[in-house]
Structures are given as C-alpha cells and as structure tokens.
Amino acid sequence: MKAFDELLAHRRVTEALSSVAERLSWDQETVMPRGATEQRAEEMAAMESVLHERRTDPRIGEWLDRAEPQDDEDARIIELIGRDFSRASKIPARLATELARITSLGQGIWASARANEAPEEFLPTLNEILTLKREEASALADGATGATELYDALLDDYEPDTKSADIAAIFDRMRPRLVALREEILGADHQPAALTGAFSHDAQFRLARTCATAFGYDWSRGRMDLAVHPFSSGRWQDSRITTRVVEAEPFNCIYSTIHEVGHSCYELGIDSDYAFTPLGRGVSMGVHESQSRMFENQMGRSRAFTEWLYHRLVEIFGPLSTPDATAFYETVNRVAPGYIRTEADEVQYNLHIMLRFDLERDLIAGRLDTDDLTEAWNTRFQKDFGLAVDRPSNGVLQDVHWSVGLFGYFPTYTLGNVYAGCLNRAMRAEVPDLDAGLTRGDATAGTEWLRENVQRHGALLPPRALVEQATGEPISEVPLLDYLERKFGEIYRL
Amino acid sequence: MKAFDELLAHRRVTEALSSVAERLSWDQETVMPRGATEQRAEEMAAMESVLHERRTDPRIGEWLDRAEPQDDEDARIIELIGRDFSRASKIPARLATELARITSLGQGIWASARANEAPEEFLPTLNEILTLKREEASALADGATGATELYDALLDDYEPDTKSADIAAIFDRMRPRLVALREEILGADHQPAALTGAFSHDAQFRLARTCATAFGYDWSRGRMDLAVHPFSSGRWQDSRITTRVVEAEPFNCIYSTIHEVGHSCYELGIDSDYAFTPLGRGVSMGVHESQSRMFENQMGRSRAFTEWLYHRLVEIFGPLSTPDATAFYETVNRVAPGYIRTEADEVQYNLHIMLRFDLERDLIAGRLDTDDLTEAWNTRFQKDFGLAVDRPSNGVLQDVHWSVGLFGYFPTYTLGNVYAGCLNRAMRAEVPDLDAGLTRGDATAGTEWLRENVQRHGALLPPRALVEQATGEPISEVPLLDYLERKFGEIYRL
C-alpha cells in the first residue's frame, strides 16, 4: 500500500473508535443508569488509552514522511494528520495522565465549591490545573514559555489558524460598542416584558421536535433526548441532540434545541465522502458555534421565525402573557441585567466571553494569580455589566470550563458570533426569501445555504478561509455589531 | 510487575473494551437512528479489530507461561485467560474475517429467504457457513475432523465443560417423556382458554416495569427499552433489558421481560470484585438460561405469581376473558399446537431444541446435506409434534441462529432448563416461603437464593460444578421432568 493510503486506512479506524467514544459520552449523559459511573469511567479510560496509542503510533510519522498528495484534498488530509500527530506526540504520557486525572477530579471539586459558594475550595485545584496546562502549552509550543506563545498553543486546539492577538484586536474593537449598546438598551423607556405562565414538559418537548424539524434536522440520522446540559453528539450518519425542559421557561428548551440542531446539522451536512477522514468534521469550535448561533439567533430569534413560533405557542398553550407576535418577538429578545453567561442575550453574551478571555490569558501568562481571580472577575464584571457580583456561583464559579482544563476555548464562542455576523449578511443577500420561509416555520432555505457554503466542506479549508470564501469578504466584527445595533435599536426604539 | 498482574491488567482493558462493544450493540438495537447502519458497522468492525488484536497479543502467552497463582481464584483466572487465548490464537485471521463476512451477509439472506418462504435462497449460504464452521471447529480441535470432536469444539464456546455425548444422553432420556406428556395434554378433556382482549401499549410497558421490580431488578444499574427481539445487555454496574409489546398478547411482553430480568440479575448479581476480570460474567449460556428460565417459568408462571399478576391485570385492564386467578394460571400455562420455538410453552420448548440439536450435529458432521435439511426438519417435526409444517417460515427458516454461524448454541437452551429443574428443587426446599412472596408480587427471596448460590460466583466454578454445588446433587433431567409432569398433570387433570 502507498504511504498515503496507509495513513488513511489507519486514521479510518481511529476515527471510528473516536466516534465510539463520543457515543459512549452521549450514553452517559442521557440514558446510562446512575449506578454505572465507575464502570463507565473505566470504559472511557480504556478507549482513551487505545486512542492515545493509535494517535501517537510512530508509523504515522513514517507514512507522513513518504505520503504523496495527488490533489488539494490529499494535501489537506496530510496537513491535518500531521498536525494531530505532532500535537499528540509532543505531550509526554506522564503529563497527559496527570492532566486527565486532575481535570477529572477538578469537575467534581468545582461543582462542590460552586454549591458551597466557596471559591477557596476550588482555587488550589485550579492552580494545579494551570501549572499542568502551562506545561502542556510549552510542550506544544516547542519549549517556548512566553505568554502569547503559551496561550496560542492552547487556543490552537479549538481554533487552529487564529492567534490570540487577532482575537484581542477584534474584541477590543467590539467591547466599547457592546457596552454602549447595553447601556442604551437598559436605559430605554420601552422595556419588553418577560414571558410568564406554565408550559407543560411534554408539550415543550414536542414543540422542540417541531422546531428541530423546521430547521431541517434529519431525524433518520439523529434523535433528541433530555440532558442536564444540552449538547449535540456525533457525526456523519448519527448526530444526536439533547435538550432540557424548564416548565416556566419555554425559551430555554426551544432555543437550546435550535442551537444544538445547528451543531448537528453542521456535522450531518458534511460531504459524506469525508466520513472517517480528518476532513469529516466541523473545522473549528468557532465555525461550529457560528452555525449553532445562526440557527438560534439570526434565524431562530428573528421577527419572521418568532411570528410562526408565537402562533405555535398560542395553539399549544393558549393565550400568552405577550399580547401579539410583535410583543412576543420583543420578549424573545429581551435584554435584562444578569450574571450568567449561558442565560445571556445576544448583546451581553459577548461581554461575558471577553471577560473570560482576558482573565484566562492573564492566568496562563502568570500575570494573574488564582488568589486574585475572584476580585479580578468582580471588578471587571462591575465595569462591563454595571452590576456587583452577589455570589461566586454567579461569578467566578459559574462555568465548568476551567475545571476541566478548557483554556483557550471561551473566545471561540464570540469568534463564532463574529463569523455568524459575516455569514448572516451573505446569506441574507443570497437568500432574499428566507424570511418568507421562516414566517411559515421553514428555515431550510437558510440551512441549505449554510450546508452549501460552509458545512459540506468539513475541514477541507481552514476556518477563516472557509468563512471568507462563503462571504467573499474578510472576517470582520462589523456585520455582527451592525446587526445587533439595528435589531436591538428597533426593539428598544433607540 | 509480576506476570499474573500483567495478565490481569491487560485483560482489564480488554474487558472494558468488550463491554463498550456490547453497549454499542445495545444502542444499535434500541435507540440508534435508522440511517446510521453503515457507520455503526464500521465502528463495530473497528472495535472488533482492536479486540482481536488484544485477544491474540503474544504477550498473553508469555505471561501465562510465567504466571503463578496464589489461590483457586488466581488459578481459575489463568485457566480462563488461557482458554480464551488458545481459542483466539487457533483461528487463522483469514478464517475469522471470512466468517465475519459470511455471517454478516447470512442474516440478511436468511431474513429475505424467510420473508419469501424460499429455503433455496438461503441454503447455499448455509452451506458456505457450514464449510467455514467445520474449518473453525477443526482448528479449535487441533486438526481433528471427527464428527464428535468438531461439534464439541463449537459447543465449547457456549457451554465449556460439557460434551455433545452428555447432552445427547440427557436428551434421549427426556424426549420420550416429553412426547408422551405433550400427547396426553393435547388429548385431555380439560383445555384452558386463550386470553383475549386488547391491552394498551403504555400500560403493558408500565406493567412490565412493575414485574421487573417484583423480581428485584436493580434500576440504578439498569433500564428497560423496546426492541424487536428482546435481549439483555451488559454487566457489572450496567445491565439493561429490552422488551416488546404486542397489544393483543400481554404475556409476550410480561414474560419476555421477566426472562431478560433473569439474565440481567445474573450479571448484576456477580461479586463486584470480579468486575473487569474473566470471573466477572455468567459462566455459560446454559447457566445463564437456567436463571432466565427460573425467573420466567418456575417463578413467573407459578400458581403463586400468576395470582398476583391476575389481580394486576384486572386492576389495569378491567375484567379479563379468564374468570378467576385459577383459570388465569391455566391460561398462562396453556399448551397449544404450534410451529414456533420462541412461542412454545414449557413442555414443547425442549422438543424444539432437541430437533435442532440433532439436525445441526448431522450438518456439522456432514451426515446431513443442506439440500435434505428441509425434509429432515419436516419429518422430525411431524414425529415429535404430530403436525405437518405448513411453510418454511414455520419450519426450517424460523430461527436466525444458523445464519449467523451459531452452531452448538441451541442445546444450551434445554441444558438451561435442566439446570433450572435442579436448581428449582433445591431453591424450593431451602426457601419454603417463596410462594407467599410470589403471591404478593415479591420474587426477591428467589432472586436472593439464586444470587447467593449461583450468580455471585460468576465464572469462578465451571458450569456443572456450580450447579451441583448449589443443589448438592449431580445434574439430572429428572427434576425438570418431574416438575413438568406434576405441574401440567394438575392443570390438565391428567
């Protein structure tokens, strides 16, 4: 066999095994009996050890040396396999094991500290995690120890092809406009009301299925279950979504469903020829988030779609606390002061991310000590949100990410929103009748545009090149900010 | 590390991976989206290739040579690992691949031939399978090609420690008494009526859950889903059951559930210290079937339990077509002429197995040609059941087993019933108040006796030694036959 074919054949099995591991995680979060935790941990560890061995198999290096690409696709496959092999090989086994152990413990310690409102119970562990993550970053950066190199090495795992300096530049341009918009909104005379009422569990779940169908989710290659924290899972022929139901808050179920449908449609929309190859997955966390956010926000929270949604809710639950579709649209997009990132509206969400991005860069760089983290969080929050954090679970302890070692992940959320802004402008220009479909509860013209221009390519192009090819313009935060100012300017009559 | 500890550590990971593969099969039969078939086949193949490599890892041979047992448990572990390693190593990779391919195709060809009532569409494939199974058997029997050695080598995979000659001797003693009992029953004046009526899907499913609870199924380590062909799946902390619902036939759902609960309780009842070791599973198919059959028949179809069940059905569905608990008990145990093994009552079931055992031994021995199989089936069926087979799907095409290469599996069903007969006699003697519990819908005294005397030992003792230790008597078909003659003699007033 030729070296390139050896590479592909080897990777094919690795991809299949990693898909199995992902399915196992899905099982754990949805259907697994609660008493099976220890067994599952051992099963996952066994899968990880097999995967680690395959990913660092020295034959990959030999095949890479000899592989001859026939076209751009081959070249990209070789590039991606080389990148994975290089990353996997640079991390010493001891470090990987220690990181796995501490981040597995970390999540439990964080959850308990959050429940006890006691950062001091978690911060020593966070310190240990940081030490190991710095060590990991330095290994990945070939021994470099500068602040920028360290953070970039971590970021590269989630958003290859983007540097923290680029992100910082974008964020610095976004922040003043977002802070100003937020202040204008909260000071406006017109303030939409929140939705009140009771919305039964089963009816919400059925409505969520209807919404998933409206966005073109392929039920023959997916399914929907309940989970504490909604997520999507799987690829190719099998990408499942989860949702949650809170009886007083139907938007929670509806929009987390549409969000996850966005992620799943991306995976299901990839060219099926790419299955079991490195091209067969979403190319970065940022691009992934751009798809889920466009489903959720630019389409799902549009005037057009909420018109349809309003009538569905009235049909199912009877008259609502909002008198008509316009008031309902405003309620869906209501901006209210709040501490929690995952509950934030389109305007405030990105401010949450910027806060975390700056703090975690300082933590990795050693410029910020974990002892000073709570204060740094609270000071910054006061500044951007005009609000004093009332307790740690509403502040520094609210997110799971750092406790499981996810440093460099947060900025991809806002990068996803920036990509979504660019893609939305192009999509709206090229699909002029999108709103007509959305008003009928049919978002598939949008889904199809995204599949054609973004999703089907999988990881063939790097993230920024992919988005720029789809939009014909360089990446910029301007379309997102323009969109937000226009949309919320109208709603709040600014 | 000492060689024995190396063996254990290596096996631990293999056990975890094989448990993952089993969970993947469960997923496929219960919740997997229907469009994911090809992907799942590739995932399963990847798992199998990893497992095969681990099972034939030459280091196992080296560790086995140097391993020093400290006690009986160690010795048994070494014996079991040695047995698995020897079997896995004896089968050439080419043969394993060909068998996997043909049996994977075989199931589809069989299903289509059955649907078309056309044995000739399936028999050529069966012939290919037989050729490969003979080759496999010969490899396992170290090159021997005699009829007995070949069949015994296959049987050994499902029921180690038992030879086909032993089974033939038991079956030869059972058959005349069963044929006679069957004839007496069908000729009796008193004939219980079948149950008629409609029984809603959801209510049946809920009742099945209640029945599982009645038998002590541990829901914190299991769950119940729907499947086309009910099965149980998994071990240690996670053994799940499946059931099916036919609206006109509530006994189908109820008794297949109780049967699978028997299998799952066995796996969940094994000493938790044995998890991830070769001791941590049911020791043979026969012993497994003894547990499920005792749950289903000796307890589940007893006068005492059906009394409780009768009242539950009346409570849920209103008055039944059977007027009282006694008539209901007789209806549950009704013996009627029929072609299908899986629908057979306690009396006729074993006659089905004997027919298949004799035919498959002749097929493997080359004494019976596949061209003559249909006729051989029909002749034997007429003789034992007094009934002419009306179509192939009611005859030679009814079971999936041969199409997936399961030769040597069938006799373990009746062996399980024989073990159940022995165990039931001992259990009844040692748990005199079992019926009092069953009448209240509480079978846990039986489950506990079985756990203590059979299940907790896992694979520590060979099958027959395990049953003989539990009963204090040699294995014999007499308790089963006595039980059947007494029970059905009473019901049919013989």
The structure tokens 């009842």 sit at B269
B130 closest CA partner among B435, B373, B405, B400: B405
Query: Structure tokens of B339?
Result: 């072609």
* Residues of chain A neighbouring B16 (CB-CB closer than 8 A): 42-43, 45-47
The predicted model gives B333-337 an average pLDDT of: 96
pLDDT under 70: residue ranges of chain A: none
Mutate to test the interface with B, among A14, A23, A264, A273 (most CBs of B within 10 A): A23
Interface size, chain A vs chain B, as Cβ–Cβ contacts under 8 Å: 108
* Residues of chain B neighbouring A267 (CB-CB closer than 8 A): none
Q: What is the pLDDT of residue B494?
A: 94
CB contact under 8 A, A27 and B27: yes
CB contact under 8 A, A33 and B276: no
User: Is there a contact between A297 and A427 (Cβ–Cβ < 8 Å)?
Assistant: no
Q: A146-189: per-residue pLDDT in tens?
A: 989 999 999 999 999 899 999 999 999 999 999 999 999 999 99
Position B33 confidence tier, pLDDT thresholds 50, 70, 90: very high
Q: What is the pLDDT of residue A97?
A: 87
Helix, strand or coil for residue B444? helix
Q: Out of A15, A136, A159, A260, pick the active-site residue.
A: A260
CB contact under 8 A, A20 and B17: no
Q: Does A75 touch chain B (CB under 8 A)?
A: no
Closest Cβ opposite residue A42 in set B43, B220, B276: B276
Position B105 confidence tier, pLDDT thresholds 50, 70, 90: confident
**Distance from C-alpha of B52 to C-alpha of B45, rounded to nearest angstrom:** 10
Percent of chain B with pLDDT over 70: 100
Q: Does A13 touch chain B (CB under 8 A)?
A: yes
Q: Does B35 touch chain A (CB under 8 A)?
A: yes
User: Is there a contact between B268 and B221 (Cβ–Cβ < 8 Å)?
Assistant: yes
- Strand arrangement of the beta sheet that strand A240-243 belongs to: A224-226, A240-243, A232-233
* Residues of chain A neighbouring B50 (CB-CB closer than 8 A): 13, 17, 50
Q: What is the pLDDT of residue A413?
A: 97
User: Is there a contact between A148 and A164 (Cβ–Cβ < 8 Å)?
Assistant: yes
Q: What is the pLDDT of residue A210?
A: 98
- What's A194's DSSP letter? P
- Chain A's closest residue to B21, CA to CA, is A20
**Distance from C-alpha of B104 to C-alpha of B41, rounded to nearest angstrom:** 10
The predicted model gives B148-175 an average pLDDT of: 96
The domain B144-494 having CATH identifier 1.10.3720.10: the answer here is no
Q: Residue type at A398?
A: Q
**Distance from C-alpha of A160 to C-alpha of A154, rounded to nearest angstrom:** 10
**Distance from C-alpha of A467 to C-alpha of A159, rounded to nearest angstrom:** 13
Looking at every residue in chain B, the average pLDDT score rounds to 96
Q: B192-244: per-residue pLDDT in tens?
A: 999 999 999 999 999 999 999 999 999 999 999 999 999 999 999 999 999 99
The predicted model gives B81-107 an average pLDDT of: 91
The structure tokens 């022929």 sit at A237
Q: What is the pLDDT of residue A188?
A: 98
* Residues of chain A neighbouring B40 (CB-CB closer than 8 A): 237-238
Q: Which of residues 206-265 of B touch A (CB under 8 A)?
A: 218-223, 236-238, 240
Determine whether B128 is exposed, middle or buried from the number of CB atoms within 10 Å of its CB (0-12, 13-18, 19+).
middle
Helix, strand or coil for residue B227? coil
Per-domain residue ranges of chain B: 3-143, 144-494
Residues with Cβ within 8 Å of B73's Cβ and at least 6 positions away in sequence, in order, are: B279, B460
Q: Provide the pairing of β-strand A240-243 with A224-226.
A: parallel
CB contact under 8 A, A238 and B36: yes
Q: What is the pLDDT of residue A327?
A: 98
Residues in chain B: 494
CA atoms within 13 A on the CB side of A86: 14
Helices (H), B143-273: 147-158, 164-186, 201-214, 250-269
- What's B324's DSSP letter? S
Q: Out of B136, B159, B260, B289, pick the active-site residue.
A: B260
User: Is there a contact between A106 and A401 (Cβ–Cβ < 8 Å)?
Assistant: no
Q: Does A38 touch chain B (CB under 8 A)?
A: yes
Q: B420-467: per-residue pLDDT in tens?
A: 999 999 999 999 999 999 999 999 999 999 999 999 999 999 999 999
A124 alpha-carbon distance from chain centroid: 27
CATH class of the domain at A133-494: mainly alpha
CA atoms within 13 A on the CB side of A65: 4
What is the ipTM metric for this complex? 0.94
CB contact under 8 A, B19 and A276: no
Q: Does B45 touch chain A (CB under 8 A)?
A: yes
Q: What is the pLDDT of residue B452?
A: 98
Q: Does B275 touch chain A (CB under 8 A)?
A: yes
- Chain A's closest residue to B19, CA to CA, is A43
Known catalytic residue at A473: no
Angle in degrees, CA A361, A364, A366, rounded to 5? 105
Q: Provide the pairing of β-strand B224-226 with A240-243.
A: unpaired
Gap from B318 CA to chain A (nearest CA, Å) = 28
Closest Cβ opposite residue B20 in set A24, A35, A238: A24
In sequence order, what are the beta bridge partners of A240? A233
Mutate to test the interface with B, among A39, A47, A209 (most CBs of B within 10 A): A39
Work out the widest C-alpha separation in chain B, in whole angstroms: 72
User: Is there a contact between B19 and B234 (Cβ–Cβ < 8 Å)?
Assistant: yes
**Distance from C-alpha of A176 to C-alpha of A351, rounded to nearest angstrom:** 10
